[in-house]
Amino acid sequence: MKKRNFSYSLIYIEVLFVFLALIIIGNISPRERAYYHVGIAVYNMEDSYMQEYMDQLQDELDKYNDSNKKVLYEILDAKGDSSRQQKQLQYMISQEFDILLLNLVEPASAASILNEASDLEIPVILFNRETEAKNMTISDTIWYVGTDAKAAGALQGDMLVKLWQEKKNVVDHNRNGKLDYVIIEGEETHFDAIRRTNGFLERASTIELNQLTSISASWKRSIAYESFSKLDETLISNVEAIICHNDDMALGIYDYYKAKNLEIPVIIGINNNPEVYEEIKVKEIYGTVDNDTKSQVIHICELIDSILQGETKEFTKIWYGNPYAITRD
């Protein structure tokens, strides 16, 4: 995976200053400008999925820049810190960017920045981390692009049900007739985390489930490893499946079993992380859910183009990609 520098750098900053001067001097309308300034707030670039997401987004924006108009974008990484992101958002507001792309640390607190952007008539595209529906009504120029978190969780349930139905004698190690599992959640109160759990439970309810425990690991590989290692050894010995809200945490669980030289249970993640995909191919990790990132990125760029053209009627307020399951079978 290629690496990029995500520090507070402006792309083509010299050109931007020139055109800002032209706007002031010549009273050029924003829609007549050849350059547009987009602010991109990311919740945490240490999240492997967000690294991949932003690589794809930048590639697509660079293709867009081959056209007559250019998008100058600035990426601000909150590093998982809501206070840090709040300062970054205030900076974006003060600079009056043409468009804001927001991947929020705390989607539940989106109303404040959305109201500020609305007051300044700045269009906002929320992506990847969904907020409550009521926040989408603050302005007509707010959109969300991502994956339906409940649908992703449902796909995890489908994978587990299919495996249980086809290979129950292999999966049911303790022969109790129940699938003994642990769920590794991103954050207990996070909107997407709750919906992924609900989607999984609803779809997997067709088989006999026995939840041994749940762990909140903040979407991180290291925390998943550390938290899981603190569980009682007897409980761990009875685990038959582990459902993880993302692939980073799935890898943390995988790391634990490899470090302890234990037989690896069924591990299912979400995101189709390249490392997880490789482990699926060699039949170490059972499965993951691909969030259809490419389609999300293309939709974001199409929406940006339509915003700049002033023609957004064809775009729905909430747009989901089409997630799909990947398994080793």
163-204 pLDDT, tens per residue? 999 999 999 999 999 999 999 999 888 889 999 999 999 999
In 3D, which of 189, 111, 117, 196 has the Cα closest to residue 155?
196
Q: Residue 71: what pLDDT?
A: 85
CB burial readout 228-263, b (16+ within 10 A) else e? beeeeeeebebbbbbbbbbbbbbbbbbbbbeeeeee
Domain residue limits, the chain: 13-147+292-322, 149-290
- What's the CATH number for 149-290? 3.40.50.2300
Q: Which residue did the predictor score with more confidence, 12 or 113?
A: 113
Q: Residue 66: what pLDDT?
A: 60
Q: Residue 4: what pLDDT?
A: 54
Confidence of residue 6 (pLDDT cuts 50, 70, 90): very low
Cα separation values, 44 from 25, 73, 97, Å: 39, 17, 21
Percent share of the chain, pLDDT over 70: 88
Q: Residue 20 pLDDT more than 60? A: no
Confidence of residue 24 (pLDDT cuts 50, 70, 90): very low
Q: Residue 256: what pLDDT?
A: 98
Q: Mean pLDDT across the stretch 39-54? A: 96
Name residues whose C-beta falls within 8 Å of residue 268's C-beta, 6 or more positions apart in sequence: 156, 159, 160, 241, 242, 243, 244, 250, 285, 286, 287, 288
Q: Which CATH number fits domain 13-147+292-322: 3.40.50.2300, 1.20.950.20, 3.40.50.720, 3.10.150.10?
A: 3.40.50.2300
Q: Mean pLDDT across the stretch 244-261? A: 98
**Angle, helices 293-309/48-64, rounded to nearest 10 degrees:** 40
Q: Mean pLDDT across the stretch 139-144? A: 97
pTM value is: 0.86
Q: Residue 70 pLDDT more than 90? A: no
Average pLDDT, the chain: 90
Q: Residue 269 pLDDT more than 50? A: yes
Q: Residue 5 pLDDT more than 60? A: no
Q: Residue 64: what pLDDT?
A: 73
Q: Residue 270 pLDDT more than 70? A: yes
How many angstroms separate the first and last alpha carbons of the chain? 26
Q: Mean pLDDT across the stretch 13-29? A: 43
Q: Residue 329: what pLDDT?
A: 85
DSSP state of 124: E
Percent share of the chain, pLDDT over 90: 83
Q: Residue 18 pLDDT more than 50? A: no
Q: Residue 33: what pLDDT?
A: 65
φ, ψ for residue 258, nearest 5 deg: -70, -40
Q: Residue 189: what pLDDT?
A: 80
C-alpha to C-alpha distance for 155 and 162, rounded to whole angstroms = 11
Q: Residue 96: what pLDDT?
A: 86
Q: Residue 27: what pLDDT?
A: 45
Tokens of 246: 């993302």
DSSP state of 46: T
